[in-house]
Chains A and B, each alone.
Chain A
Amino acid sequence: MDLSLRHITHRYDEVEVLRDINLDIEQGQIVCIIGPSGCGKSTLLRMIGGLERPASGEVLQLGEPPADCLNPLTYIFQDFALLPWRTVEGNISLVLENHPLDAAAREEIIADVLARTKLSDFRKAYPRQLSGGMKQRVAIARALSVRPAVLLMDEPLSALDSQTRELLMDDLVDLWEKENYTAAYVTHNLAEAVRLGHKIVVLSRRPGEIRDIVEIDMPLSARTTENAELEAIQKRLWNLMRDEARAADMELLDE
């Protein structure tokens, strides 16, 4: 299943946030969306997943999601969004309870995603007992449990310290190697974008417009740190963004 964004424009009251965004997210691809803060990245991602309606334009779903898919467009949030009153397994079973699965099938899915995210020992733990990195792994396990066609990630690593970020980045790369998931990945971190993106979309400051789309052909497994080619791309992205970021930083938040 592919997604296609056609002429997305959005405004909050008088403030224009997004202007004429056209973008294709193809199956098996990770599309990274970068841009200065406040440019509308989160808004765009909410539109892709149907949590918000654009003022004009549309998000089209091309083709059908796989038959076993329970929730085609699935988010991973920056602040994890785990229910504090449910354990790890309870948080995962929450998103399965609405589907016609019997207890055994549900249990099988939970055990499987916990194993895949190396969380099996923490099934009965409450979120408050977990570190930030573990909480985000629970959120990833929850997302995987509904067998999404497209993962929508809004700065999933931004709330974590840099070591944890590295580890989880490796997990996301490994996972992609195994499952070739499709994803839209919003970040303001250029290194993350270059590490994970097959396609990097650079947005301008508000109103967000597409400045450039950079494609990286190098396979994810070959993208080690200290890679000259990637560094060149990262530098190029930074040059594209620097003036925008500086200007965005000087803007008053309310006008």
Chain B
Amino acid sequence: MSDETVGNQITGKPVPYRGGGFLPKSRKIVAPIVFILIIAFWEWGCRTGFISPLILPAPSEAFDAFMNLVNSGLLWQHLAASLQRLLIGWFSGTMLGIIVGTLIGLFSIARSGLQPLVSAIFPIPKIALLPLFIIWFGIGEGSKVATILFGTFFPTVIATYGGIDNVDRGLIRMGQSFGLTRMSIIRKIILPGALPAILSGARISAAIAIILLVAAEMIAAEYGIGAYILIAGSLMATDQLITGVAILSCIGLIFAWIIGKAEKYFLKWRA
């Protein structure tokens, strides 16, 4: 095909490479470097007056606020109050969600009765219901936990029955063909098959739980990270506000890390 012939020999040119790419990998050291660079730039900006202290406090000031919080002993009270609400609400919301999602995934009656209801309530921002919850469950812990429970319940229901719907029907036929009982098929084939979807639902509902926690604590809470942020905000104490937000971010990261570990453990068969 080539027209450049030297003597009898045809000189070839290499086929141009056009594959590869589109496979971003995450390199471990990059993230901390970016993180440190941003904080350093921020600190530098505040010290030189490039960033006005009225707009954003320096990271060192936020850190001082954090140390004050630790030294006064209030950190543990805020954290304990928040974590208790978060864990109770998220755990019971997730458990109930898995149960109801399983019922919808398995039974025609539950599916026809509950699925439309779930679809109707799921998109409502649960924060809008907070006043109602206060009337129903009181202004104390009840309404706060109920908000989180309600908010995490629906995404879990949807993730669970979606996961069950996607279980390979061939595996269920196999179970039936070997005479497995209905209970065994549910326990050993359907639920493990839906587990990946349930765990990614848990990831989403954990993030929702933290959002709702702060919202609920902004109404009538003495202790809690949300209350701390609210007070800081009303006093224009931006250093404390940044501290509170950083604590929330850490809680979110720890939750995600725990769920990541659970995925690694329970889904090790996926390679």
Instruction: Work out how many contacts link A and B, with CB atoms closer than 8 A.
Output: 53
Q: How far is the CA of A1 from the CA of B32 in the complex (A)?
A: 70
Which of A77, A86, A98, A142 contacts B170, CB < 8 Å? A77
Which of B170, B179, B181 contacts A71, CB < 8 Å? B179
Which of B177, B192, B269, B270 contacts A49, CB < 8 Å? B177
Which residues of A are at the interface with B, using a C-beta cutoff of 8 A? 49, 51, 70-71, 73-75, 77, 79, 81, 83-86, 94-95, 97-98, 126, 128, 142, 146
Flag if B170 contacts A97 (CB, 8 Å).
Answer: no
Flag if A74 contacts B177 (CB, 8 Å).
Answer: yes
Interface string of B154-194 (1 = CB under 8 A from A): 00000000000000101101111111110010001100110
With contact pairs A94-B188, A98-B181, A128-B271 given, residues A81 and B171 touching in the complex (Cβ less than 8 Å): yes
Residues of B within 8 A of A95 (CB): 178, 180
With contact pairs A77-B170, A83-B189, A126-B269 given, residues A98 and B184 touching in the complex (Cβ less than 8 Å): yes
Q: How far is the CA of A81 from the CA of B177 in the complex (A)?
A: 11
- Closest A residue, CB atoms, query B175: A94
With contact pairs A77-B170, A94-B188 given, residues A84 and B270 touching in the complex (Cβ less than 8 Å): yes
With contact pairs A84-B269, A84-B270 given, residues A79 and B170 touching in the complex (Cβ less than 8 Å): yes
With contact pairs A98-B180, A128-B271 given, residues A81 and B189 touching in the complex (Cβ less than 8 Å): no
Residues of B within 8 A of A71 (CB): 177-179
Q: How far is the CA of A227 from the CA of B258 in the complex (A)?
A: 64
Residues of B within 8 A of A97 (CB): 184, 188
Q: 23 A–B contact pairs at CB < 8 A? A: A51-B176, A51-B177, A70-B179, A71-B177, A75-B174, A77-B170, A77-B173, A79-B170, A81-B168, A81-B170, A81-B171, A81-B174, A83-B189, A83-B192, A85-B192, A85-B267, A86-B269, A94-B175, A94-B180, A95-B178, A98-B180, A126-B271, A128-B270
With contact pairs A94-B188, A98-B181, A128-B269 given, residues A83 and B176 touching in the complex (Cβ less than 8 Å): no
Which secondary structure dominates where chain A touches chain B? Answer: loop
Leading 7 A-B pairs by shortest Cβ distance: A81-B174, A95-B178, A85-B269, A75-B177, A85-B192, A126-B269, A81-B170
Q: How far is the CA of A86 from the CA of B269 in the complex (A)?
A: 8
Flag if A74 contacts B271 (CB, 8 Å).
Answer: no
Given contacts A98-B178, A98-B184, A126-B269, 19 further A-B pairs with CB under 8 A are: A51-B176, A70-B179, A71-B178, A71-B179, A74-B177, A75-B177, A81-B168, A81-B171, A81-B174, A83-B171, A83-B189, A84-B269, A85-B269, A86-B269, A94-B175, A94-B178, A98-B179, A98-B180, A142-B178
Chain A nearest CB: distance from B268 CB in Å? 8
Residues of B within 8 A of A84 (CB): 269-270
Flag if B180 contacts A77 (CB, 8 Å).
Answer: no
Q: How far is the CA of A128 from the CA of B267 in the complex (A)?
A: 13
Q: How far is the CA of A73 from the CA of B176 in the complex (A)?
A: 11
Chain B nearest CB: distance from A246 CB in Å? 30
B168, B173, B189 — which one has the most chain A CB atoms within 10 A of its CB? B173
Which of A86, A126, A128, A146 contacts B178, CB < 8 Å? A146
B175, B178, B180, B189 — which one has the most chain A CB atoms within 10 A of its CB? B178
Q: How far is the CA of A36 from the CA of B126 in the complex (A)?
A: 57
Q: How far is the CA of A86 from the CA of B192 in the complex (A)?
A: 10
Residues of B within 8 A of A49 (CB): 177
- Closest A residue, CB atoms, query B267: A85
- Closest A residue, CB atoms, query B176: A51
Chain B nearest CB: distance from A110 CB in Å? 14
Interface string of B86-98 (1 = CB under 8 A from A): 0000000000000
Residues of A within 8 A of B175 (CB): 94
With contact pairs A98-B179, A98-B184 given, residues A81 and B269 touching in the complex (Cβ less than 8 Å): no
- Closest A residue, CB atoms, query B188: A94
Flag if A51 contacts B173 (CB, 8 Å).
Answer: yes
Residues of B within 8 A of A81 (CB): 168, 170-171, 173-174
Q: How far is the CA of A22 from the CA of B175 in the complex (A)?
A: 28
Residues of B within 8 A of A98 (CB): 178-181, 184
- Closest A residue, CB atoms, query B181: A98
Residues of A within 8 A of B193 (CB): 85
- Closest A residue, CB atoms, query B174: A81
Residues of A within 8 A of B184 (CB): 97-98
- Closest A residue, CB atoms, query B196: A85
Residues of A within 8 A of B178 (CB): 71, 74, 94-95, 98, 142, 146
Residues of B within 8 A of A51 (CB): 173, 176-177
